[in-house]
Amino acid sequence: MRDGTTWNGYVSLRDSRSAERTANVPLSPHLNDDSEIDTYVFLGLDITSRVAARRALEVSIEEHKKSNQELQMFAHIVSHDLQEPMRMVSSFMTLLERR
Q: Tell me the domain boundaries of the chain.
A: 7-46, 49-99
Question: Tens digits of per-residue pLDDT, 81-92?
Answer: 888 888 888 898
Mean pLDDT of 53-72: 97
What pLDDT does residue 71 have?
96
- Give residue 72's pLDDT band: very low, low, confident or very high (50, 70, 90): very high
Question: Tens digits of per-residue pLDDT, 52-61?
Answer: 999 999 999 9
- Give residue 36's pLDDT band: very low, low, confident or very high (50, 70, 90): confident
Query: What 3 state SS string does the chain have?
Result: CCCCCCEEEEEEEECCCCCEEEEEEEEEEEECCCCCEEEEEECCEECHHHHHHHHHHHHHHHHHHHHHHHHHHHHHHHHHHHHHHHHHHHHHHHHHHHC
